[in-house]
Amino acid sequence: MKGNLYKTTEQLVQMVNSSNEKNNPHFDYYKKILKSCNDDISFNQMLSSINFKGVQPLPKNKSMFRFIVKCSNYNLNQSGNASNNVIIGPVNPNSPLDPSDMYSLSIPMSHYHLSKNNYVQDNFIYRISNKENGAIAKFIERIRFVDNRIQMLICDYIKRVDSSSPISNLLFKNNVTSNSNWTYTGIINKIKDDEYINFRYFKDFSSKYTNHKDSKLGTHIYNGNERFIELEELLSRDTFCYVHGLIYPLIKVIYVLVNERTVNGMPLVNFTCKAYFVDILCIKNTVNCSAKRNQN
């Protein structure tokens, strides 16, 4: 006689296949915040509620500013009144994220830790091939929608700006109007003929972002379901490294950076959308690193 704890062959197979990832302690949280991406209706509700919740100077650089980006995430708060981060990630249509989905929904991303001028970079990049399909194509489309929404908000802000705005002097100095003398650097940006997605991580340790006593990096990194302390340590340093691997791109849009920039000899006001990893979720055994600069 079979007891209540008996598992069918199919149940055992499913448990074995999902065992590598299911122990990530934050997985239920990921599923919760990704409800805004489960279907087009939920995503469009979030998209239409994106707004700027104030503008403020950077604490360490008073000549630069940031618009705080928030939305009313109806899936996290049924009243629809609470302001939350804009969350984007690839999901299978009308299906909650499952650990076994992580591999198929990941994308190959690269990170060059120092620029040619030895400036520490904080971004992982993905080159759009325009051959993406399914959930990844939908994910890229939704990022474009977010970029378009934020550009529209910037344009509207410039149209109605007055002297009470913290960036009014910067805009007036550069003769900025809603259709001239400013530029937008989106989550997706174009270099020559190629488009790239840029996702960022927090470089500096803060108790707000991490609870691991040995971590020197703000953003948690996971290799499968285990903390990737070695990669966190590597990315906390100011030495060159190249990193490439499959990453599940779960991101949140936090703010738009505002600063003055010279482009082709002309001063402009630049607005840069900052999209950060919630956590860097590397697919196990796919990450490769190098300390040599001759990577392509």
Tens digits of residue pLDDT in 214-260:
567 889 999 988 888 889 988 988 888 899 999 999 999 999 999 99
Is 65 contained in some domain? yes
93 is a domain residue: yes
8 Å CB contact between 109 and 199: yes
The whole-angstrom separation of Cα 139 and Cα 141 is 5
Q: Does residue 19 form part of some domain?
A: no
The answer to whether residue 220 is domain-embedded is yes
- Check residue 31 and give its pLDDT: 86
Is 14 contained in some domain? no
Indicate the pTM of the whole model: 0.85
Per-residue DSSP letter, 120: B
* Beta-sheet pairing, 280-282 with 221-223: parallel
What is the total count of domains within the chain?
Answer: 1
**C-alpha pair distances (Å), 269 with each of 61, 159, 258, 285:** 16, 15, 7, 42
Assess if residue 5 is contained within a domain. Answer: no
How far is the C-alpha of 193 from the C-alpha of 20, rounded, in Å? 39
In tens, the pLDDT along 163-186 reads 999 999 999 999 999 889 999 999
Three-state SS at 293: coil
238 belongs to a structural domain: yes
Domain range for residue 235? 26-290
Average pLDDT over residues 201-211: 64
Longest dimension (CA), the chain: 83
- Residue 134 pLDDT class (50, 70, 90 cuts): very high
Tens of pLDDT along 17-67?
Answer: 444 444 566 788 888 888 888 889 999 999 999 999 989 999 888 889 999
